[in-house]
Chains A and B, each alone.
Chain A
Amino acid sequence: MAELIKHFFNQISSPVMMFTLGTGLLFLFLSFPGQLTAPKVAGPLGILVVAFFIFGLTDEHFKMIITTPDNVPIVMMLFIMLYFTWYAMRKATVNDMRMAEGKGPLEKEESEQKVLVFPYLIFIEFVVALFYSIMLVVWSLALKAPLEDPANPSISPNPSKAPWYFLGLQELLVYFDPWIAGVLLPTLIIIGLCAIPYLDRSPKGSGYYSYQQRRVWISGFLFCFWMLWIVLIVLGTFLRGPNWNFFGPFEVWNVHKVVPLLNVNLSEFVFIKWLGWGLPSQWYLRELPGILLVLAYLLIPPAMAAKTFCKKAFQEMGAVRYAVAAFLLLMVIAVPIKMYLRWAFNLKYLVAIPEFFFNI
């Protein structure tokens, strides 16, 4: 039985399954926030997650990975993220229900009380700081700093992992060239975060939790943060083993694991597999299908959306803001799309111009 469960989890934690399942769960969560965040439902679900980890501790390998001092914070992050997502959504749905009944949000009521920062808030913060110190001391007593050998420049550890907060980006290296995964995408993330207040200027939901009033933005944010950041970090920490091979949570990290890694460029699909012509020698001809596809991806959907279901948004935001928002959103979605293409078709690059070191 236990073996079966382990096998099941090994299977569903493969990147493609995990990503699909995660997205599905997120979608489910966002579709029924009221029902799913109710303590009666969320409580047992939370217990299930804890139960999974407790079950996992019975497995030597799982236990080793989870309890490695390096990885403990990631486990904590997972629980903290789950809690805060639930907490915010719970607040938001409660407010939504209140507002549906014609009452104002809870925060409005609360803000009617006046409290002095000093001493009341400061006191509470001080107590919290004390608890925080206790936690840090206990943590440092319980887990030793995971120091290793003196670094040897001629031996790189296997797997070589980035610090945990970069593991999401490192995971992207599997699918993209370093300059995209390591330079372009992080830059876009920062620009995107900076751009949010300029893109979303709606005063709704300011100062109080609400889901209904900000569905699109909250969904977008949760998808980006959960699926493209947290999940990738968890994947990189727990499921990537020697040689950056994928290992299920209950699978032993075998240094010698061999998996086929045969990836093909789009141009080869088009010119060799489908047309049977052989690759054109000029790069612009060879990569034409890919370039067209990318351009189509970036131009057609926003244009079509502007005419149809996003008409209102287009009118409200204006052409420039709409275009920027659409571009950022498409870039975000491009990441999972590229992953799926890789997993489904072993697609290496859509456009591969090694002449310019340009591969996407």
Chain B
Amino acid sequence: MPPSKNDNKLYSVEKTTFWFAIASVGLLVTLLLMLFQDHDREWKYYQREFVKLEREKTQEKLDEIIKNVNMEQLQRLKEELKEANFDFKQKQDQYNQLVKEKESIQLPLISAKNRYQDLKQYYDSYKFFFEEDNEAGEQKEAKAYQEKLEKTAVSLETAKEEMERLEKKQEDIDQAIRDLEAEQKTLTDKISAKLRDQERYQKKLEKLKPSVVKELLNAPMLDFMVPTLQIQQIVLEDLNDDFFFAKSNKIDRCTTCHLAIDQEGFEDAPQPFRTHPSLDLFLASNSPHPLEKIGCTVCHSGSGQSLSFTWAAHTPRDEVQAEEWKKEYHWHELEKWEAKMLPLQFTEASCTKCHQGVVDIPEAPKINHGRQLAREFGCFACHTVKGFSAEGGSASGGEGAWKVGPSLLNVKSKVDSDWMIRWLQAPKKFRASTRMPSVFHLENTSDQESKTLSNAGIKGISRYLMIHSGEVPLQSPPPKGNPETGQALIKEIGCLGCHSAEGVHVNDRGPELTGLGSKVSADWLYTWLKDPKHYSPETPMPNLRLSNQQAADITAYLLQDRNEAFESTGIPEVKEADVDQLAMSFLIGRMRESEAEETLSAMDADAKLQFVGKEMINRQGCFGCHDIQGFENAKRIGTELTKEGQKEITKLDFGFVEIPHSRQAWFFQKLKHPRSYDKGRVKPYQDKLRMPDFGLTDEQAEALTTFLLSLRTEDIPLEMQRQLNLDEQAIEAGRFLVNKYNCQGCHTLDGVEGRVRSLFEDLGNAPPVLDGEGAKVQEDWLFEFLHAPSTIRPWLKYHMPGFGLSEDELNALIQYFALLEHQKVSFAPSDISTDQDILTAGRQLFMQFKCIQCHQSAESPGLTASFLAPDLVISKDRLKPQWVVEWLKEPQRLQEGTMMPTFFADGTTPIADVLDGDWIKQIHALRDYMWQLTEEQAEAIKSANLAAKTN
């Protein structure tokens, strides 16, 4: 029995019903909310906006096309068409007749075709049975089938004839109709061709127009069918996303919002609709990185499957942009997403995922710069990075590079201990451009106690180095040097190919040549200049083949420059107690305090000094860059950086430094202020951070950060990586050597302009361009030349130095030059004609073209350097015969801007009476003549010329 209304009961139907009503409405509202939230997606707004933008662009394009259409022409065409239509009307009867005829032929044609096909089937079937029975020996049946076969063959033939007759007739009629319509049709085609673009854009515009149907298709609950707003995705079959326990194809949905990323024409559109800035390199289907094969996130990183601004893991380039994004997109940092997008300035860090084993990655200046800096600053001397050797070689370049700093094995012969102490205090004070980092008195060691201990350490280092140094005999400059000549020589002889000097900074491979008067003695410098390997067999400094006088002049000049400020720096006083304290701090790290005290008291003052020196060298890892006695097998001191680019953020100690918690921010700060993470920390001297300060510029730090970010191991399938074939590997090996020996410091080569060449007004005096060298010179000549350079262009003051290349290096370079020009390396002798007639013709041409006038063995008065050319007598040993032919044909093609005249312009010859005026034959004759030209002959020709001139 339902309880009555007014009872004070535990339940009330009215109340329950009331709440039921509320709940129902509530549920409905939540359902709508659910639908709305499901429907309301960030990317849809972008797609709608893009449709608008696309319409605007299409409209613009259409307007432009309409404007460009030649209205007059169009009008004329239309009138012609009208006339044609009129003409056609005249022939209407004829046309109708033809059409009727064609219709009447249809039925007979079809039945003819059918009949033919029927008969053909019977014929084939009889043939089969006849062959079978005949083969099986069933003579009777075979006979029967044969008869049938023959009978059918006859009917088949008739049927075919009938069919073909009808077909032909139909074709004739068709042709007649076409003839009638021809004029009309041509005109219509012409008109539509004129309007084709216009129509295309009109159609597109039509498609982009908003409509009710579209709205319906995109409406909630209906958008499962064919919505016009759709998630766009690229499934990359060959690339994987690694979810640790499973791998799946990489899926990039970036194009859902970046809708025009691979379309031209949106270069100035607002984001996210802007076109990719370099379509010829990325995304375009004919580029090396097509969108459908490479996608987006493999380079940019980030979460390719996400569809919202924040969850795609966009990363701002700096704090300012971060603030902007927070306002505009409600962006926040994704703390837990590892593979965040690389900020734009570091995107090149991804190039190394696929491009390995190359010295420089094409079109990736920042990562290349970063890697070059890492090599130059000796990062690998302290930090292990797999694929980069300690001496800065890359995996492709192999071993045999130098340590970054000079060898200190004979340092006693070069500098004194006072200089060393001043230098270690602050290397940049002696030479602002030095790559030697500041090690002492930095921000975490600038308190008084640390300074005292550092000074004790510095004194110890200098003591240790002086004691553990060999000595080399030095020569004094025999003639007295002339500083002015020296100054000129520095500029002229090739020093600037590696060194900065005189305010000229085109090269900085070697140290800048300043303040040497405060550093080294005349004897040392003279000996060094004469033969650098005498002092230090491992030095990268090549031998410039200086005469005694030249060496003396340069010595005199360089020693003139003294660094007074540096010299006047005081040598800090070091008390024995300081040394003791420092020594103790090293000792207690490895033994008990009492034992340490005992050990210390067993040493005399000098031993203590040497001890702290050795320990300090050990602590700072000086041996990474310098050869030092006693540290031949020392281990690198730095953290291994092989996977630094994917190190967990929590493993990076940000200390009390207020920077964003990201890898790039940490790296940048560490590079710019290596000791800053010690700020506010309580640490004993020996535990403080020890990375030295290289004084990097922001730009350098950014490049190095890019390099560090590139140090990750990523699972890219081999077939997706850039694989070098054998030739390319050989070329890379050569590039490594070219970089190592700084060939491009002087020579233009491999797409890089020789750096000293900018200093020359007359490029004829500059070191030669080596582009095309591999096609030009013979392999054995190149081998000999690189091994021991000889003079080719006597007017050049620049000396090609001797680098003391090993045989392996020589061969690698020869291969490099040859392969760059797609040549086969060959040491076979050249096969040249010695036919007397040809040689005579050659000689005649040689005389008439006046080759000897520019190609001379010695400097000749009256000609500027750019007109001078190498002696032709050495050609036969130096040049490749085929190259000479190509060269004579068209010098400008092989070397743009050369002064060599084009004698055979457009395949003609100015001298018609030799060899029938055949230019190819003439060229070969010239070449053949040159191949037997001797020095005496050349001299004879020259004197004859001179005589002719004087007469």
Contact = CB atoms under 8 A, between A and B. Distances in A.
Contacts of B24: 130
Contact of B13 (A120, A151, A153, A155): A120
Interface in A135-153: 137-138, 141, 148-153
Interface in B13-62: 13, 16, 19-20, 23-24, 26-27, 30-31, 33-34, 37
Given A124-B11, A130-B27, A141 B33 contact: yes
Contacts of B20: 123, 126-127, 130
Given A110-B10, A120-B13, A127-B20, A134 B244 contact: no
Nearest to A150: B243
A327 B27 CA distance: 51
B337 interface: yes
Contacts of A137: 27, 30-31, 33-34
A120 B11 contact: yes
Given A123-B20, A127-B20, A152 B13 contact: no
Nearest to B338: A149
Contacts of B11: 115, 120, 124
B278 interface: no
Contacts of A151: 243-245
A155 B649 CA distance: 11
A142 to B, nearest CB: 10
A255 B335 CA distance: 14
Contacts of A134: 23, 26-27, 30
Interface string B332-346: 000011100000000
A131 interface: yes
A40 interface: no
A126 B27 CA distance: 13
B10 A149 contact: no
B683 interface: no
Contact of B37 (A120, A141, A148): A141
A201 interface: no
Contacts of A124: 11, 16
B907 to A, nearest CB: 67
Interface bin, chain A: 20 to 34
Interface string B433-466: 0000000000000000000000000000000000
A201 B203 CA distance: 87
Given A110-B10, A113-B10, A152 B26 contact: no
A183 B16 CA distance: 47
B23 A130 contact: yes
B244 A127 contact: no
A11 interface: no
A164 B933 CA distance: 95
A158 B336 contact: no
Interface in A86-121: 110, 113, 115, 120
B573 interface: no
Contacts of A131: 19, 23, 26
A158 B648 CA distance: 12
A141 B30 CA distance: 9
Nearest to B11: A120
B118 interface: no
Nearest to B30: A137
Nearest to B8: A113
Contacts of B336: 148-149
A153 B244 CA distance: 7
A138 B244 contact: no
A228 B408 CA distance: 69
Given A127-B16, A255-B650, A113 B9 contact: yes
B640 to A, nearest CB: 16
B653 interface: yes
A133 interface: yes
B30 A152 contact: no
Nearest to A147: B336
Interface string B740-773: 0000000000000000000000000000000000
B244 A152 contact: yes
B663 to A, nearest CB: 15
A115 B37 CA distance: 43
A158 B650 CA distance: 9
Contacts of A113: 3, 9-10
Contacts of B34: 137, 141
Interface string A150-164: 111101001000000
A243 to B, nearest CB: 11
B648 A155 contact: yes
A110 B37 CA distance: 46
Contact of A152 (B31, B338, B650): B338
A115 B244 contact: no
Contacts of B16: 120, 123-124, 127
A134 B244 CA distance: 38
A72 to B, nearest CB: 18
B651 to A, nearest CB: 10
Contact of B10 (A115, A123, A152, A255): A115
Nearest to B7: A113
A67 B337 CA distance: 20
A7 B284 CA distance: 60
A130 B30 CA distance: 11
Contacts of B30: 133-134, 137-138, 141
A255 B650 CA distance: 8
Given A148-B336, A151-B245, A152-B244, A127 B23 contact: yes
Contacts of B245: 151, 153
Most interface-central of B16, B31, B245 (chain A CB within 10 A): B16
Contacts of A127: 16, 19-20, 23
Contacts of B9: 113, 115
B1 to A, nearest CB: 9
B304 to A, nearest CB: 13
Contacts of A126: 20
A138 B650 CA distance: 35
A106 B650 CA distance: 60
A75 B180 CA distance: 89
A27 to B, nearest CB: 35
A149 B337 contact: yes
A311 B245 CA distance: 62
A130 to B, nearest CB: 4
A133 B336 CA distance: 31
A80 B116 CA distance: 92
Nearest to B654: A256
A150 B11 CA distance: 51
Contacts of A130: 20, 23-24, 26-27
A282 to B, nearest CB: 31
Interface in A236-289: 255-256
A131 B24 CA distance: 9
A159 B664 CA distance: 24
Contacts of A150: 243-244
Contacts of A120: 11, 13, 16
A115 B336 CA distance: 55
Interface string B311-349: 000000000000000000000000011100000000000
A141 B34 CA distance: 7
B167 to A, nearest CB: 68
27 contacts: A110-B10, A113-B3, A113-B10, A120-B13, A124-B16, A126-B20, A127-B19, A127-B20, A130-B26, A130-B27, A131-B23, A133-B30, A134-B23, A134-B26, A137-B30, A137-B31, A138-B30, A138-B33, A141-B33, A148-B336, A150-B243, A151-B244, A152-B244, A153-B244, A153-B245, A158-B650, A255-B650
Given A127-B23, A130-B26, 8 more contacts: A113-B10, A120-B16, A123-B20, A130-B23, A137-B33, A137-B34, A138-B33, A141-B33
Interface of B: 3, 9-11, 13, 16, 19-20, 23-24, 26-27, 30-31, 33-34, 37, 243-245, 336-338, 648, 650, 653
The 10 residue pairs across chains A and B that have the minimum distance between CB atoms:
A130-B23, A150-B243, A137-B30, A148-B336, A134-B26, A127-B20, A127-B19, A149-B336, A134-B30, A152-B244
